Every structure is written in C-alpha cells, then in structure tokens.
Amino acid sequence: MTDRVLDLRGLKCPLPALRTRKALRAALPGDLLAVDCTDPLSRLDIPNLIRETGDVLEAVEDGGDVVTFRIRKAQLGG
C-alpha cells in the first residue's frame, strides 16, 4: 500500500475533483491518498466524488484555509 499526497492548493473547481478522480484511477486497492485543497467548493465536491467512485473517505481535516481529505482506494470486489 502506498501513501500519496496530492497538493491541490490554489486550484479552483472543478480541478480538485478532476485531479482527485485521476489519482484514484491510478491508485491500487488499499492505497491511501491525502488530498490538500483550498477551494471552498471542495468540501462538497470531494465527498460527492467519493460517493460516486465507491472509495472510502476515512477522514476530513479542516485546517481553515486548507482541507485535507484522506481517501482509501476501495478493495476489489468490496
């Protein structure tokens, strides 16, 4: 399993969701992806994306200006 940080600070909607989707496609089952965003809309967009992809949103850390989403790539057949 690989931990990867995706720094999307400064990007505006829809780029954070698009880049997160691309990173999840490349991830292996069980991988953990930490996504750092500053776009306020990411607080809605990223959880909605995760519902669509079937992956797991393990944690959301809201640091005010930066929100970090910890996303676990779904296991195959899970």
Residue with tokens 């909607």: 13
What are the beta bridge partners of residue 62? Answer: 67
Q: Which of 4, 11, 13, 15 is catalytic?
A: 13
Helix, strand, or coil (residue 57): strand
Per the annotation, the verdict on 37 as an active-site residue is no
21 CB burial (10 A radius; 0-12, 13-18, 19+) = middle
Which residues are annotated as catalytic? 13
